Structure 1
């Protein structure tokens, strides 16, 4: 990105974006295509995949890539804006330029798959991201949550700069209490947690924890370089996801699920802070550059992978399955089809959509940060073309 733009360049962050995008693609591919290979539609309540293998549960619970994306949003915005005044109008304009162009293309294409002509209500739902039922809309709800976070980020960043991390920790505690009160006050005999989990009320923990990780990174970077932290951070994330899978957490409405967003955000905040602190921005050779390039187009991967999976599920599952060894369990077949067919195809499409649709609008963004109001820790170098999500 340009030095005046709104993102700090960190190659390690691009690596983590790539991880998040790949996890989401593998997760959706395994869950959806395994059912299609068996000749049926996927029903989460009864068809969720479980395993005692921690590596498998990382894929089966790959929806956690969304949490990683949200933690990264809080982290990168805060590293870039900490201690500086944010010009609110320009900030929101930049966010719209970041999200809306590709989102509108994908949403309108999904609308075009319907037989009937779109109504005004359909168009209004698209403008507000309220289109999860269309073929490619399974991830649109996260964009709505992101936009809600953008509305409050400048205030939260100022609070962090002026009041310190304790203010955000108290906010985390208050949100947890209020969320529990909402759940307890539900008139339903068995209150659902989905509405909380799929909205900012249930996900703000992850943005706040990303902001706190940025504060720790800025003030205690040397401590994050402790050798024992490097294996502990990813191990904690995998162990937490394995435990979540073993108790059938995603399809559960246990009150313990009210704590899941914070726990999930905490382990990813640890992973982000430790990885960024320990990974040189310019090192790693071609694998690092390749991962960074994938991370650069991760938003396109995120928005277009449903289109690719829908194509494979509707028209190519049988053919792709036929390429694989006989007697292969459906879940393994789905994993291989996703890894060898859906993921490469999605990445290829994403490079096209990034350069043709995203990048022209990204170049229209304007600086939104004023001069530093407090002394800052030196920030990492920046790069042309870097962008959010």
Structure 2
């Protein structure tokens, strides 16, 4: 990869940190708020709503997952720009990135079961399907990410040789097919959850991340405008506010079929704009970057921390405030710092030793970018 094509790492880590914090605050408000009221959280009936856009950013903080998925497409595409991807080495690197910490948490989670784990339990662990709460509430996203990794080298070749139009056409085709699947469902009231939470919905966000990378690589000069990042963030918050007002996450409205694309599009704009403008510097920037570096550990461990607080911190959870405010403060002042501290430990003890085993996965002759979508593919040097 040419030095001029490198991702400016600090802004990327800033965005990773923001995504991780959003997810922690979201789960904390939902779970601890219900606990303060002395009940279990029921997503369909107990979802949090507000007319305050800042509050809805937290209440719909699951959008941090969408930001992570957009970032995945963005980072891989910039990193592989102009070079063919070595498929085996790429997948090996992804396994070294994801599996070590995940396996530790999943195996420990299985140890909480009274029954001795079976071979089927092992298969569920290897495919990110085990165990349930409190350890596995976020594992479903890892399954989707692994599916992204399987198809990225092909998608990257399409983008390089055929241009962004190839991914735009693929995005349109997936959106149309997703709508047809929903319309042809035999259920009297078809559900949209699987079409939103699985690969069928989330592939939009990965593709949009790749397109944001193409935009950044080819038009970064046009993106360098100090007003563009706040404008893109305002658009994202406004969209989330609208989603919250129509109870989007817990609804089965057909409009939800387009939500994955809309959500991915605004975060793709935020990513491209923020990275192109490189964000703030100084101590705050370095601290945010360090947090972004351990964001995977934050994502995998925060549910455990929140569960412990729910179970053992019941006596000191605030009662004088509205439950959602009490939950927000406990999450911000207790759960988040504890999770971050734990994450620095798990990152350096479990993640980092395996990350150092990764090897470059791009190489060989540079791929010629083809301006015409129907031109035959070629490689420089053949």
TM range (shorter): over 0.9
Partner-residue secondary structure (3-state), 1:46: coil
2:327 to 331, 334, 337: 334
C-alpha separation in 1, matches of 2:224 and 2:86:
34
Partner of 1:120: 119
Q: Tell me, which stretches of 5 or more residues in structure 1 are unaligned?
A: 377-389
Separation in structure 2 between the aligned mates of residue 340 and residue 162 of structure 1, nearest angstrom: 49
Is the contact between residue 33 and residue 317 of structure 1 (CA under 8 Å) also seen in structure 2? no
Q: Is the 8 A contact 1:183 1:193 kept in 2?
A: yes
| Candidates 282, 291, 294, aligned match of 1:294 | 291
- Aligned-partner Cα distance in 1 for 2:368–2:186: 50
Write the deviation string for residues 302-331 of structure 1: whole angstroms up to 9, x where unpaired: 00001100100111133132xxxx630000
What are the equivalent positions in structure 2 for 1:42-121 lying under 5 Å apart?
42-121=41-120
Q: How many residues of Structure 1 are paired with residues of Structure 2 in the alignment? A: 367
Q: Secondary structure at the match of 1:133?
A: coil
Extract unaligned runs of 5+ from structure 2.
Answer: 370-382
Q: CA deviation at 1:293?
A: 0.1
Normalised by the length of structure 2, the TM-score is 0.93
Single out whichever of 265-274 and 132-141 deviates more from structure 2: 132-141
- For the Cα contact (< 8 Å) 1:36–1:317, is it kept in 2? yes
Decide whether the 8 Å contact of 2:161 with 2:367 is kept in 1: no
Q: Which residue of 1 aligns with 2:342?
A: 349
| 1:190 alignment counterpart | 189
For the aligned residues, what is the CA RMSD?
Answer: 1.7
Say whether 1:284 aligns with 2:277.
no
User: Deviations along 1:285-308, whole A, 9 cap, x unmatched?
Assistant: 110000000000000000000110
Q: The residue matched to 1:49 in structure 2 has which SS? A: coil
Distance between the aligned counterparts of 1:155 and 1:82, measured in 2?
Answer: 13
Are the aligned partners of 2:100 and 2:350 in contact in 1 as well (CA < 8 Å)? Answer: yes
In the aligned structure 2, how far is the partner of 1:185 from the partner of 1:118?
39
Check the 8 A contact 1:26/1:335 in 2, yes or no. yes
Which 4+ stretches in 1 moved above 3 angstroms?
none
Show the counterpart of 1:152.
Answer: 151
CA distance in 2, matches of 1:8, 1:127: 31
Aligned to 2:373: none
Q: 1:367 is matched with which residue?
A: 360
- 1:254-273 to structure 2, matched below 5 A, reads 254-273=253-272
2:312 aligns with 315
Give distance in 2, aligned partners of 1:372 and 1:225.
31
C-alpha change, 1:227 and 1:364, in structure 2 (3 Å) is closer
- Contact 1:132–1:139, Cα closer than 8 Å, also in 2: no
Q: Find the aligned partners of 2:212 and 2:104 in 1 and give their Cα distance.
A: 34
Are 1:178 and 2:171 counterparts? no
Q: Equivalent residue for 2:237?
A: 238
Q: What is the CA–CA distance in structure 1 between the aligned matches of 2:237 and 2:33, rounded to whole Å?
A: 22
